[in-house]
Structure 1
Amino acid sequence: MKELNDYSTTDVQTVTQDGKYILFFSATWCPDCKFIEPFMPEIEADYPDYQFVHVDRDQFLDLAKELGIMGIPSFVAFDRGQEIGRFVNKDRKTKAEVENFINSLN
């Protein structure tokens, strides 16, 4: 999974302008983020139409605020720079819940 740091900009519209993306917001101290992290490689492999980008919520706090990310882990989907869905709350997320969210985007 790429990191937002891997891009030359943190402007979400620019980063996500050329395809389908899912931004995965988390933080190193977050136990619910640690719970879903082991499943992320499988989820990525199951959804090759999407490019997954990890966003460290603490490092990019202004972006999280701009996008209304109050709880983590959270997922925000984009298609060619436009938000198409979000799975944003403070609850622990299971692999099945994340997959259901991605399936609902199609």
Structure 2
Amino acid sequence: MREYTDLNTMEQVDEFIANHPLALIFISRTGCSVCQGLMPQVQELLEDYPEIRMGHINADHLPSIAGRFSIFTVPVILMFVNGKEYLREARIVHMDLFEEKLSKLYKGFLEQ
């Protein structure tokens, strides 16, 4: 199974988004049970989307991430296409709806 890239500084976050045309960032906090349950589900889902690069940010280790992306709760999934945010899911993520949105976005990107 593909692994998340840990992003620990704002510079790493910015470089990750800039260097990957399809970049998904998963933002969590230590001790968040919803985060711990959702993270492997997203990881498994992304096996079907090999062009998407996966990044992980622990908001406890990088508190400035909240202000940078207007994050008010965790978990948050942000999907960037060519550096622009196209998809945002927060707290309770319905995986079937998330997959539907992700699939449309992915197919649209590949057809460019």
1:53 to 43, 52, 55: 55
- Give the structure 2 partner of residue 15 of structure 1: 16
Q: Which residue number in structure 2 is paired with residue 77 of structure 1?
A: 79
Aligned counterpart, 1:68: 70
Deviations 1:29-66 (A, max 9, x none): 11111121231331221221210101101111112222
For the aligned residues, what is the CA RMSD?
2.2
Q: Percent identity?
A: 23
What is the letter of the counterpart of residue 7 of structure 2? Answer: L
Change (3 A) 1:11 1:73: closer
Q: If you compute each CA radius of gyration, which structure gives the higher value, 1 or 2?
A: 2
8 Å CA contact 2:24–2:55 kept in 1: the answer is: yes
Contact persistence 1:77–1:84 (CA under 8 A): yes
More helix by share: 2
Using the size of structure 1 for normalisation, the TM-score is 0.79
Structure 2 spans left out of the alignment, 5+ residues: none
When the two structures are aligned, how many residues end up with a matched partner?
A: 102
**TM-score in terms of structure 2 length:** 0.75
